[in-house]
Copies of this chain bind each other. A is one copy, B any other.
């Protein structure tokens, strides 16, 4: 199961059709059955490289938004993983396709990309640790859900590597731990009945807005 704790399924349910539109997007279907044009995938990878730099900045921001050592360590660990492993993987994959890092760095950042990462960063700057987590969650856990589903369905074809990363044990474990961090962070700040907190609708709205911006990111990927 890809529920990753208690909070995520609640936010996912509140996002309704947006969540389906994101996780069942045509781009995802194309990864699953191998029909996604290579050009679209490469365009996506280039933007995703830029995305990961700013997404790393957002996880670093999370460290600044808490004084709990366990939360600091967890966010710092995710940051390290993004900067050392995930970005390196993108550079390597792109290199195999003939795109070097200089090309990645010079690519113009697309508006759909800007919208998503800067929204997440502003969620952190304007709100507290929870507001930031609500904006970070759709990407981290949504990719986990997509990866697990595509892997369970076979996971072969030209995009087997991509599916292998996000459907693989390492990434699934990271999602499980992120879901647990999220549950603890929510309990600490909103108590045992978080859905009754007056802040709950705003957190659901954060999650849903970030989900809508993920849809825009796939749309951009299809048309690049």
Contacts and interface: CB of A to CB of B under 8 A. Distances in A.
Interface stretch (A76-84, A151-159, A166-174): A76-84
A115 interface: yes
Contacts of A23: none
Q: Oligomeric state, in number of copies?
A: 4
Interface in A49-81: 53-54, 56-58, 60-61, 63-67, 69, 72-73, 75-76, 79-80
A222 interface: no
Interface of A: 53-54, 56-58, 60-61, 63-67, 69, 72-73, 75-76, 79-80, 83-84, 87, 109, 111-112, 114-115, 118-119, 121-122, 125-128, 131, 187-191, 197-199, 209, 212-213, 216
A114 B216 CA distance: 12
A127 B126 contact: no
A79 B121 CA distance: 19
B73 A84 contact: yes
Given A126-B57, A128-B128, A190-B198, A63 B79 contact: yes
A63 B56 CA distance: 8
Given A190-B198, A216-B111, A53 B80 contact: no
A64 B126 contact: yes
Nearest to A122: B118
A165 B130 CA distance: 37
A42 B209 CA distance: 23
Given A57-B126, A118-B119, A189-B199, 5 more contacts: A60-B64, A64-B64, A118-B118, A122-B122, A191-B197
A178 to B, nearest CB: 17
A104 B138 CA distance: 27
B209 A198 contact: no
24 contacts: A53-B72, A56-B72, A58-B64, A60-B61, A60-B63, A60-B75, A61-B64, A63-B79, A64-B64, A65-B126, A67-B126, A76-B76, A109-B209, A111-B112, A111-B212, A114-B119, A114-B213, A118-B118, A118-B122, A126-B128, A128-B128, A128-B131, A190-B197, A191-B198
